[in-house]
Amino acid sequence: MKQIRPQELSALLSQAAPPVVLDVREPWEIATASLTGSVAIPMHEITTRLSELSTAQPIVCLCHHGMRSLQVAMFLERNGFETVYNLAGGINAWSLDVDPTVPTY
């Protein structure tokens, strides 16, 4: 599992085959600030909703500051997911470094 910075994710999202952005925050957090096109599965639901994700498709996990998503990314790797990244700094870093229109909280 590799940590990536918001600018790296921005570049990946502009590619022809972008990764899945897995947002593991709670619904109220996603309602406050989100990344367009992300897949929302709260951290506590990952084990029961694992079948919704492809083990072969690259996945970038994100949360508020990068700690919950780091735990989920490690879990995904242990469960056979091939290419998993954690967004260092989470949605907060995305807001500060890439898209200031995404609110911070």
| pLDDT of the chain, 105 residues: tens digit per residue | 899 999 999 999 999 999 999 999 999 999 999 999 999 999 999 999 999 999 999 999 999 999 999 999 999 999 999 999 999 999 999 999 999 999 999
| Total domains present in the chain | 1
Residue 17: phi, psi to the nearest 5? -120, 80
Please say whether the dihedral angle defined by the alpha carbons of residues 77, 70, 51 and 56, taken in this order, is positive or negative: negative
**Token pair of 66 as six digits:** 């990068």
**85: CATH:** 3.40.250.10
Residue 63 annotated in active site: yes
Q: Tell me which of 22, 63, 84, 87 is the catalytic residue.
A: 63
- Give the per-residue pLDDT at 1: 83
Structural contact between residues 95 and 104, judged by C-beta atoms closer than 8 angstroms: yes
Domain ranges, residue 32: 2-97
Q: Look at residue 105 and tell me if it is in a domain.
A: no
Query: What global pTM score does this model have?
Result: 0.96
